[in-house]
Every structure is written in structure tokens, then in C-alpha cells.
Amino acid sequence: MSATRAIGDHRDVLHAVAALSLVAALIHLWVTPEHFEEWWGYGAFFLVCAVAQVVYVPLLLRRPNRTVLLLGVAGNSAIVLLYLLTRVVGIPVFGPEAGEVEGVGTIDLCATASEAAMVVALGALVLMGIARNRTTMVGLVFATVLLMAAHLPHVLLLLIALL
């Protein structure tokens, strides 16, 4: 089974990812004005994220190939990692609030959860395209479960630290 065929067989997943991308984009658009008030760089970042997530939807639905899927994984992973960094370590070196640790809010958790779900779904589609037989798929799933289990204590400690 080719990667394109594996992706085409899962149009419902693509539609769910498209919806999640729009949710994250709308949240980013919603908070863009308040971030522009803090500093133009913060506002520009949120605006670029929103535009990228909106533009990604037709690209994903019309040309769902491996490159497009990996683009979604990379972009949304970067946003999620930056979110975690700003909540645990602090805002990177740019802007007037550099080094400050941001608080966790409900709306930003919704955006981040949408982005994390997109990464998981797109990653699964990529793996399905790579896994051409059952043994490979079982190995990939097993490796993913082990990786997630190994990081579970880190995630729990992060959640405890945030509370």
C-alpha cells in the first residue's frame, strides 16, 4: 500500500485534523490583539501561526501527501514545544517579557490540545504510509507506546508544577 493510498483511505481523519487546525487558528486570531498590545513581535507570532494553520487546511484536504503531513507535524510540534517552554522555562530571549514564565489558561490549553491532537493524527497517518505490513505497524505502535510511557513521569511532573 502506498503512502498516498493509505492517506486517501483515511479522509475522515484528514477532516478532523482540518477542523482542529481551524480551532487552533481561530484561538490564535482571537488572542492576537492582546499580544500586539504587549509587543509587536508577540502579536506577529500569533498572527503568523493563525494564518499558517488556516492555509494548511486546503493544502491538507487537496494534497494529502507525506510532505504535507510532515509539514503539519513539524509546524504544530514547534508551536506546542514553544508553548511548553514559555510555561516552564519562560519566554525565549525576544521581547519585553523575555524570561518570564507565562501562566496556563483554558483557552491556550484548548489551542495546544488541538495542535497536539493534530500532531498525533498526522503522525499516525505518516506511520500508516510507512508501515506496509502488520509486523512493521506493530513495531511502530509498540515503540510509540514505550516512548510515551518513558515520558509520562515528565508530563505528570510538569502538570503538578503548573498547578
Q: What is the pLDDT of residues 130-140, one digit of tens each?
A: 655 566 666 66
Share of the chain above pLDDT 70, in %: 77
Q: Any idea where the domains of the chain sit in the sequence?
A: 3-130, 134-163
Q: What is the pLDDT of residues 49-93, one digit of tens each?
A: 999 999 999 999 999 998 999 999 999 999 998 998 899 888 888
Most confident segment among 13-17, 85-89, 145-149, 154-158: 13-17
For residue 62, give every residue at least 6 positions away whose Cβ sits within 8 Å of its Cβ, in sequence order, or none. none
pLDDT at 145 over 90: no
What's the confidence (pLDDT) of residue 22?
98
With bands split at pLDDT 50, 70 and 90, how would you rate the model's confidence at 129? confident
Buried b (16+ CB within 10 A) or exposed e, 106-138: eebeebbebbbbbbebbbbbbbbbebeeeeeee
Q: What is the mean pLDDT of residues 24-44?
A: 97
What's the confidence (pLDDT) of residue 45?
96
Average pLDDT, the chain: 86
Residues 57, 36: Cα–Cα separation, whole Å: 25
Read off the pTM.
0.78
Residues 45, 7: Cα–Cα separation, whole Å: 31
Q: What is the pLDDT of residues 71-81, one digit of tens each?
A: 999 999 999 98
